[in-house]
Structure 1
């Protein structure tokens, strides 16, 4: 009888000890995950998207060897569409459209609400939108930023916002002050093409650079 009572007490003691260990472990994990969450949030808040976008623009886009002459791109697409899209285009996921970083030259024949109508020397009329520089065209056309580099879509899109801000508010205003209707310019920027596209006229370009020739 005494042995049974002693055994029962020992079992209870071990059960209490086990319960204490479980509670301690759970408590530690909850504190740990909370701290880990704090670190992630801190990293997100401290990330300098402006500096990152500056680097993409000045060290990446402006020096990119992947920027292709518009006339060469159109010729390549007409010759071998799949190869041209693979070699020069960038896109997220699967689809018929892709973004391309192009360059060309032409004469300004009209300016209306921030849209410059250009008589391109080899590609007919194209349009450069210097006012509504939004969306992901520049980011995606550059091919320099991957979704997997960021934890959330919001962070990924923040890169686009910062990059667009640089071009729209810092780069383009300085450059368009120097040009007027009748001037010949060189320009580079992002365009979007579809594999279903047959005609390559009236293309809209989101500029990365405009220079007076």
Structure 2
């Protein structure tokens, strides 16, 4: 009988040890704990750093002068796109980092019309600042930098916000008919349907 009691006591003790050694957590708690150990990608900081330390310093020397690009687009579109455009993915939508100078001809509700020294007119956007042109036109951002495509898309949104807050107000202030200005900006073109009569540039620098 005493041996039986010893076996029962030992079994109970073993059960208590096993019970205290194993515990369960909700799956959501485990996932949350895993995420908390990884630094969250700071989109706003990335966009601001890219704008300040990469895009603005590189733009003056890497932007293609519209006086060079526009004639090339008229005579050899394939060369113009292959030589001067950028894009993170495949497809017909391509982006150009461009610069130019000219005279303000008109100030519209959504843009400023500028006649270049070569005679062509471009429109500097002041309202509809969207898309990936600012992010992609320089070719300085690589898709391999991002683990999440949502972060990549949010970088575009943040860069567009920077244009709205830091560039557009200055453009609106100085844009008066007859005023001579120089600009650097990002331009989107569809290589399958190139229309040069209504060129719109998102400005990133105005002088």
Smaller-chain TM-score range? 0.7 to 0.9
1:62 maps to what in 2?
56
Partner of residue 167 from structure 1, selected from 160, 163, 166? 163
Alignment partners' CA distance in 2, 1:196 and 1:62:
30
Deviation at 1:81, TM superposition (A): 3.4
Q: What are structure 1's unaligned runs of at least 5 residues?
A: 1-19
Counterpart for residue 115 of structure 1? 111
Paired residue secondary structure (1:92): coil
Query: CA separation in 2, counterparts of 1:32 and 1:123?
Result: 64
Structure 2: which 5+ runs fail to align? 1-17
Number of residue pairs aligned between Structure 1 and Structure 2: 187
Write out aligned runs for 1:41-190 (5 A): 43-44=39-40, 47-64=41-58, 65-190=61-186
Q: Judge which range, 192-201 or 135-144, deviates more.
A: 192-201
CA contact (8 A) 2:167 2:203 kept: no
State the alpha-carbon separation in 2 of the partners of residues 90 and 63 from structure 1: 18
Are the aligned partners of 1:66 and 1:88 in contact in 2 as well (CA < 8 Å)? no
CA contact (8 A) 1:71 1:123 kept: no
Q: Quote the offset at 1:135 in angstroms.
A: 1.6
Cα offset for 1:199?
4.7
**C-alpha contact 2:92 2:191 (8 A) present in aligned 1:** yes
